[in-house]
Amino acid sequence: MYDVVVVGAGPAGSMAAKVAAENGLKVLLIEKRQEIGTPVRCAEGVSKRSLQRFVEIDKKWIANEVVGAKIYSPDMTEIVLSEEMAGNEVGYVLERKIFDRYLARLAAKSGAEVYTKTTFVEFRRVDGKLKVKLRKLGEIWEVETNILIGADGVESRVGRLAGIIRTLKLNEIESCAQYLMVGLNLDPNYTYFYLGKDIAPGGYAWIFPKGENSANVGVGVLPSMAEKPAKYYLDKFIEKVGIEGKIIEFVAGAVPVYGEIDTAVCNNIMLAGDAAYHSDPITGGGIANALAAGYYAGKVAFDAVKAKDFSEKILKRYDELWKNDFGKKLRRNKKLQEKFLKMDDETLNKLAKSISGKNLKDMSVLAIVIELVKANPKLLFEFKDLLIQ
């Protein structure tokens, strides 16, 4: 019998387990993979402030530190943004194989039991509690819990069985392909983003340096707009940009770009991170929000145990917390994403040209938006509802 069972030892699950356990709850964290953190389905970029909110920075899991981002429009016009302005994915490039394990270790140190190679199968409701069926090393067994936290990623089985989320449509998910490449010759002080319908329909390509010679090189595309799988665009991108190096790893994965869901809870159950479609609809970045959501889920689990009430009503406090933190940004960026998807390459080039070369490093986001609108007055109408929010 547990207070809390957490499914999935990614950033959301380990953070939830840590917070619940350090508040004295009896916690079980399960992970279906043999090793936490591998394979890495991530470009590993995250801003410094979003990490510092929840963990003490440890150099062991920082592969690289960058000062900003370089963004390229389809005709390769360059825009340079400072790290503070570039969003939740720019600042550090992590070593997630080590980072994810570090977080799981923090959960264990706080008192959570951690089982790897253990898969969540299903749950049933009995007398206000949940019986959770798990498969561990081929054997099925059942545990009892008051609260189940689904932090089981984009295809969350917990979320679907609970009826909180539905399968995503082809325009609500980015399909990604990524190589880890070595022997590269690049400036490791920046992360690089490339836009354009030919490069990445409905998404973008990226190069996130992990040091002077290696980088995550990837592409995310929207299946509703792409005619070919993401790997096709990745190989074409590498050829176009002339990246020379050796591929030592390949991963494919998906990121939800849904926006904000109405609720991430029902009786006894909360969803956190990609399971609740918490990743950013423009960048696809999800580490920052996964950590925040996990933190809040752990806190609310404690409140529920204290109140001996595991109803949807009390768990709604979790919805309030994550929505106050990043719900508005999910909503706004979903609208922005929809507007960007309608822009053709020519417009993107024009926008980039109007601010390229300006010293954006010292400008606020608002100042940049004003520059864009000054050079492209039609944008004022396009973006008016987003600007006055």
Ligand X SMILES: Cc1cc2nc3c(=O)[nH]c(=O)nc-3n(C[C@H](O)[C@H](O)[C@H](O)COP(=O)(O)OP(=O)(O)OC[C@H]3O[C@@H](n4cnc5c(N)ncnc54)[C@H](O)[C@@H]3O)c2cc1C
Tokens standing for residue 33: 């993979």
List 32, 70, 101, 231, residue binding ligand X (CB under 6 A)? 32
Verify binding: residue 151, ligand X, rule CB under 6 A: yes
Q: Tokens 């998807």 correspond to what residue?
A: 341
Return the axis-axis angle of helices 11-22 and 287-307, rounded to nearest 10°: 30
Cβ 203 vs Cβ 178: under 8 Å? no
Among the listed residues 153, 196, 202, 209, the single contact to ligand X using CB under 6 A:
153
In the structure encoding, which two tokens stand for residue 265, read together?
A: 């809870």
Residue with smaller CB distance to ligand X, 184 or 234: 234
d(CA 7, CA 121): 10
What is the number of other CB atoms lying within 10 angstroms of the CB of residue 144? Answer: 13
Measured CA to CA, the distance from residue 389 to residue 387 in angstroms comes to 6
Among 45, 87, 159, 327, binds ligand X (CB under 6 A): 45
Q: Quick check: helix, strand or coil at residue 278?
A: coil
Q: How far is the CB of 242 from ligand X (least distance, A)?
A: 22
Q: In the stretch 281-310, what mask flags binding to ligand X with x, by CB under 6 A? A: ---xxxxx-x--------------------
CB of 149 to ligand X, least distance (A): 11
Query: Whose CB is nearest to ligand X?
Result: 286
Residue of the chain from 19, 181, 184, 255 that contacts ligand X (CB under 6 A): 255
Q: Does residue 176 belong to the site contacting ligand X (CB under 6 A)?
A: yes
d(CA 226, CA 229): 7
Does 83 engage in binding with ligand X (CB under 6 A)?
A: no
Q: Which two tokens stand for residue 195?
A: 């836009």
- The smaller minimum CB distance to ligand X, of residues 99 and 310, is found at 99
List contacts with ligand X (CB under 6 A): 7-13, 30-33, 41-46, 89, 119-120, 151-153, 157, 176, 178, 218, 253-255, 273-275, 279, 284-288, 290
